[in-house]
Amino acid sequence: MTGFVCSPGTRVNGDIRVPGDKSISHRSIILSSIANGRSHISGFLQGEDSLNTITAFRQMGVSIERNGDRVRVDGVGLNGLDAPAGDLDMGNSGTAMRLLLGLLAGQNFDSRLIGDASLSSRPMQRVIDPLQSMGARIESEAGGRAPLQVRSSGGLRAIHYDMPVASAQVKSCLMLAGLYADGETVVREPAPTRDHSERMLKAFGCEVGSTDSVIRIRGGQALTACDVEVPADVSSAAFFMVAAAIAPGSDITLRHVGINPTRTGVIDILRLMGGEIELLSRREIGGEPVADIRVRSAQLTGIDIPLELVPLAIDEFPVLFVAAACARGITRLSGAGELRVKESDRIQVMADGLAELGIETQVKDDGIVVEGGPIGAGRVDAHGDHRIAMAFSVASLRAAGDIRIEDCDNVKTSFPEFVELARAAGLRIDIDDE
């Protein structure tokens, strides 16, 4: 089991580019595989999660060639996938499992989705229920957990579905199933979530209606191959944004970062806390807004995080809790119950780790209260959650002594270059292979 030993640092500087966006990387493989023709993808994330998605589609007869972060996909069309000979292993990726479940529900063959221990403990009932109302035949372990057996349904029917909780994964799952349904599938989301699926489906020539939190997609539409450029992942950039914000004397520029408005909650929250953040060279690449992000150190102040920003920063809260620990005063988060069912219970795991480092917190059912203060040395457990491990690495910049972080293996699932880039920027991280 791999651990990190992170020593106190001074400042973060540099001009770097973090790896490609994981959400967009997954979707680029899924849609190009069921499109007609050859697609080229550049900037693809070379993490285990994304590579597992490539493997799954190869198992279903799609020819995919990869050369570093460049991928060529020869799509087989909407109904051209083959039955896989074995299980489709999604590793640690909830995104891949939920999106593929929607796609597989509409196929005329049986399939089985599996994952690692962490993924197998995460709830899938939120996608199973609406898919079953469309006519999908899905069998799961107790509580709607993987492994998931998907049986040929003989055809799906369109539904109108009001999502009880804002979730881009649920929305995207139902959109993919809607491509195989008879009629028009309508999904209403209670709050805005990332819209990468809508944007990319349109780029592949699919008609998608999207107004007033209502998404409409008509079944049977053919997708046409296109080229996809994956921007740098704002969720990965967030660790360096917070690092530069909390470490005095820091000044860092992050290149070619996706700034999709459904993903920029971390920028908005840091600015509300007093962060100095500039968006430079704004442009649009393949339907996705992109910019260079410059962050300089600033004295942060605790805030009540606006509810409307919560779904726009749901993946970035572990490192935002570190920003809160370094801020003057108290930061309050509510409306974030979704954090309880990520790769770990991110509210409780971060609270436990911060407590080990001397930071006072109050855990709520759907949030947390963090009181800023001095960060001490200590040992924390990442519980196999990549974002927890990277968040506490950032905390070491303001620590009184070494922070030892246990169970960091899964960092490579989403950000395989993290340690190297972090060291280049000024963090002091050693690998501890126990």
User: Based on the domain organization, do 159 and 253 belong to the same domain?
Assistant: no
**pLDDT per residue over 129-155, tens digit each?**
999 999 999 999 998 999 999 999 889
User: Based on the domain organization, do 77 and 140 belong to the same domain?
Assistant: yes
- The catalytic position among 21, 315, 381, 385 is 315
pLDDT at 103: 98
Q: Given 184, 211, 229, which residue is the final one in a domain?
A: 229
CB 30 within 8 A of CB 39: no
User: Based on the domain organization, do 121 and 255 belong to the same domain?
Assistant: no
- For residues 59-86, give the mean pLDDT: 97
Confidence at 434, pLDDT banded by 50, 70, 90: low
CA distance 16 to 421: 8
User: Based on the domain organization, do 211 and 329 belong to the same domain?
Assistant: no
User: Based on the domain organization, do 214 and 309 belong to the same domain?
Assistant: no
Q: What interhelical angle do 386-395 and 317-325 show, nearest 10?
A: 20
Q: Given 201, 229, 257, which residue is the final one in a domain?
A: 229
Beta bridge pairs of residue 380: 405
CA distance 244 to 397: 9
Structure tokens at 307: 């509810």
- For residues 338-355, give the mean pLDDT: 94
Q: What is the 3-state secondary structure (H, E, C) of the chain?
A: CEEEEEECCCCCEEEECCCECHHHHHHHHHHHHCEEEEEEEECCCCCHHHHHHHHHHHHCCCEEEEECCEEEEEEECCCCCCCCCCCEECCCCHHHHHHHHHHHCCCCCCEEEECCHHHHCCCCHHHHHHHHHCCCEEEEECCCEEEEEEECCCCEECCEEECCCCCHHHHHHHHHHHCCEECEEEEECCCCCCCHHHHHHHHCCCCEEEECCEEEEECCCCEECCCEECCECHHHHHHHHHHHHHCCCCEEEEEEEECCCCCCHHHHHHHHCCCEEEEEEEEEECCEEEEEEEEECCCCECCECCHHHHHHCCCCHHHHHHHHHCCECEEEECCCHHHHHCCCCHHHHHHHHHHHCCCEEEEECCEEEEECCCECCEEEECCCCHHHHHHHHHHHHHECCCEEEECCCCHHHHCCCHHHHHHHHCCEEEEEEC
Q: Given 173, 196, 229, which residue is the final one in a domain?
A: 229
CA distance 199 to 206: 10
Beta bridge pairs of residue 185: 217
Structure tokens at 426: 């000024």
CA distance 218 to 285: 26
User: Based on the domain organization, do 196 and 326 belong to the same domain?
Assistant: no
Average pLDDT, the chain: 95
pLDDT at 248: 96
CB 387 within 8 A of CB 343: yes
User: Based on the domain organization, do 236 and 225 belong to the same domain?
Assistant: no
Share of the chain above pLDDT 90, in %: 90
Does residue 431 register a pLDDT over 90? yes
- For residues 177-203, give the mean pLDDT: 95
Does residue 400 register a pLDDT over 90? yes
CA distance 329 to 369: 11
- For residues 162-180, give the mean pLDDT: 95
- For residues 418-422, give the mean pLDDT: 96
Q: What angle do CA 314, 124, 233 make, to 5 degrees?
A: 35
User: Based on the domain organization, do 279 and 372 belong to the same domain?
Assistant: yes
Dihedral, CA of residue 163, residue 164, residue 165 and residue 167, to nearest 10: -20
User: Based on the domain organization, do 26 and 104 belong to the same domain?
Assistant: yes
- For residues 266-270, give the mean pLDDT: 98
Does residue 166 register a pLDDT over 90? no
Which structural domain range is residue 407 located in? 2-20+232-433
**pLDDT per residue over 97-138, tens digit each?**
999 999 999 999 999 999 999 899 988 999 999 999 999 999
pLDDT at 225: 98
Confidence at 262, pLDDT banded by 50, 70, 90: very high
Q: For the ranges 9-13, 95-99, 291-295, which has the lowest average pLDDT?
A: 9-13
CB 254 within 8 A of CB 300: no
Pairing relationship of beta strands 160-162 and 214-218 according to DSSP bridges: unpaired
CB 138 within 8 A of CB 152: no
Measured CA distances, 141 to 98, 100, 112, 338 (Å): 15, 17, 12, 21
- For residues 333-359, give the mean pLDDT: 95
Does residue 287 register a pLDDT over 90? no
Which one is predicted more confidently, 343 or 394?
394
pLDDT at 182: 97
CA distance 244 to 425: 9
Confidence at 286, pLDDT banded by 50, 70, 90: confident
pLDDT at 143: 86
User: Based on the domain organization, do 217 and 242 belong to the same domain?
Assistant: no
User: Based on the domain organization, do 165 and 288 belong to the same domain?
Assistant: no
Does residue 1 register a pLDDT over 90? no
- For residues 329-335, give the mean pLDDT: 97
Confidence at 419, pLDDT banded by 50, 70, 90: very high
Structure tokens at 412: 């490579």
For the chain, how long is the longest CA-to-CA vector?
A: 62
Share of the chain above pLDDT 70, in %: 100
pTM above 0.85, yes or no: yes
Does residue 342 register a pLDDT over 90? no
Domains: count for the chain? 2
270-283 as b/e, with b when 16 or more CB fall inside 10 Å? Answer: beebebbbeeeeee
Based on the residue annotation, tell me whether 69 is a catalytic residue of this protein: no
Domain holding 101: CATH number? Answer: 3.65.10.10
pLDDT at 212: 81
Which one is predicted more confidently, 281 or 166?
281
User: Based on the domain organization, do 360 and 260 belong to the same domain?
Assistant: yes
